[in-house]
Homo-oligomer: A and B are copies of this chain.
Amino acid sequence: MENESFITMPKGFKANGVSAGMKCEDPANINKDDPKSSYLDVALVVSDVPASIAGVYTSNLVKGHSLERTISKISSGNKVRGIIVNSKNANACVGAVGREDADLIASKVAEGLGCTADEIMTASTGVIGDRLPVEKITKVIPGLVEGLSAEEETAHLAEYAMMTTDTVPKEVSAVLTLADGSEVKIAGMAKGSGMIHPNLATMIGIFTTDADIDKGLLQKMLKDAVSHTFNRVSVDGDTSVCDMVVIMANGQSGQKIEEGSEDAQIFSEALTSLSLDIARMLASDGEGATKLIEIEVSGAASAEDAKLIVTSVARSPLCKTAFFGMDANCGRIMTAVGYSGAKFDPYKIDIDLGDLPVYRDGCALPFDEEEADRILHEHDINVKIMLHEGEYGDRMFTCDFSYDYVKINGSYRS
């Protein structure tokens, strides 16, 4: 997807991002011409009219207070007006006050928009266990609402304000042509870099669309899209307490998408494809990452086995450090396949590194080290594992483990 993607491309959405001084104490020092992730820390995305909303959340039993609030609002089934996101602080594990702070922030936004607090979703990402600086945030909300715009430049500010250890913004969009020739748009943006592992990651993803889609169908399509994309990204095997992906559908294109229709198929495929693009961006921008690694399994006896194997290889620190070192230590891939918990005959496994066969029938091949070296020096590396046990396959995106991963995470809080 091109850089010109932005969250307000679908009709009837506005966005903005401002600094509440959480990332950068003195906003006076900020260079306004350089809207970087280093100082913007509060993002808002709103629909002009109430929109259907669907959401998918972290499977972590410990959930952040902003997220818990959003889950309860979305489950109510009511339409919403928007979502406010802050970075730098996860609003998690601080007790009852965490929910009160999220409620207060939502009501300040609602006040500015002239809607109810129940129509405003909340999301927080950052350090766990510190109370939100709620006064700082509420103080900037009037300006945040005032500055809402559908303009591309302003919309990008929302993405920058969500970013934590991300090094690049992650925005996608698509214009879909429906069966009758009419058009609807989808746009998405996300943050996420470390603590990323299936179900979900330390990621927040927001999609907007001007299609008119009922909540039930929207939820189904989002869940499908997430299961093969965001739930197939692993940076470090950690799963955070704040993750969510939401989609708001405000119907402003005038096009209704009905369950079971060809249009639903078109929309669903587009949403999955955009999610896949973001998933690849997340893995590629993993903390300290120098490589994007795609692990593919085919021929597994069951879908569960295929998933166990891609997960095991994608989270193996030994495989990930070998990719960082560009060392064709493929025995570590065999090892991770072996301890995955999947059932298979170890003497039937084939493994390819890129196009280079490195294992056949469970045995290491003498391979061309120069060719392996060339493959490992690429930014995108593909590993194919073929089990020859059945018809199931799976795929996962990950990145390497570098010195910088250790550096970033040894001092994240401070």
Residues of A within 8 A of B (CB): 58-63, 90, 92-95, 127-130, 194-195, 197, 199, 236-241, 315-318, 321-322, 324-332, 334-339, 342-344, 346, 359, 361-364, 401-403, 405-414
Least distance between A66 CB and chain B CB atoms (Å): 14
- Whether A327 lies near B237 (C-beta < 8 A) is no
- Whether A318 lies near B238 (C-beta < 8 A) is yes
Q: Give the CA-CA distance A413 to B197 in the complex, in Å.
A: 28
- Whether B411 lies near A401 (C-beta < 8 A) is no
Query: Which residues of chain B are near A403, meaning CB under 8 Å?
Result: 403, 406-407
Main secondary structure of the interface of A (DSSP, over half): loop
Q: Report which of B62, B318, B337, B359 forms a contact with A409, defined as CB distance below 8 A.
A: B318
- Whether B331 lies near A90 (C-beta < 8 A) is yes
- Whether A236 lies near B317 (C-beta < 8 A) is yes
- A61-B338, A61-B344, A335-B62 given as contacts; is B128 within 8 A of A410 (CB)? no
- A61-B344, A129-B364, A410-B322 given as contacts; is B328 within 8 A of A238 (CB)? no
- Whether B62 lies near A338 (C-beta < 8 A) is yes
Residue of B nearest to A237 (CB): B317
- Whether A59 lies near B240 (C-beta < 8 A) is no
Residue of B nearest to A409 (CB): B321
Count of chain copies: 2
Least distance between A227 CB and chain B CB atoms (Å): 17
Residue of B nearest to A327 (CB): B413
Least distance between A385 CB and chain B CB atoms (Å): 12
- Specify which of A90, A332, A344 lies most central, judged by the most chain B CB atoms within 10 Å of its CB: A332
Q: Report which of B346, B361, B364, B401 forms a contact with A61, defined as CB distance below 8 A.
A: B346
- Whether B411 lies near A95 (C-beta < 8 A) is no
> Contacts A321-B408, A401-B406 given; 7 further ones with Cβ under 8 A?
A60-B338, A128-B331, A129-B359, A237-B317, A238-B335, A327-B413, A327-B414
Sampled A-B contacts (21; CB under 8 Å): A61-B343, A61-B346, A62-B346, A90-B331, A93-B331, A127-B331, A128-B332, A129-B331, A129-B364, A195-B332, A199-B339, A238-B318, A241-B331, A241-B335, A317-B401, A317-B405, A322-B410, A325-B410, A325-B412, A326-B410, A327-B410
- Whether A339 lies near B412 (C-beta < 8 A) is no
Query: Which residues of chain B are near A95, meaning CB under 8 Å?
Result: 361-363
- A325-B410, A405-B317, A409-B318 given as contacts; is B339 within 8 A of A60 (CB)? yes
- Whether A59 lies near B361 (C-beta < 8 A) is no
Query: Which residues of chain B are near A194, meaning CB under 8 Å?
Result: 318
Query: Which residues of chain B are near A128, meaning CB under 8 Å?
Result: 329-332, 334-335, 364
- Whether A93 lies near B362 (C-beta < 8 A) is yes
Query: Which residues of chain B are near A334, meaning CB under 8 Å?
Result: 62, 92-93, 128-129, 241
7 smallest CB-CB distances across A and B, nearest first, come from A128-B331, A325-B410, A129-B364, A62-B338, A321-B409, A239-B339, A60-B338
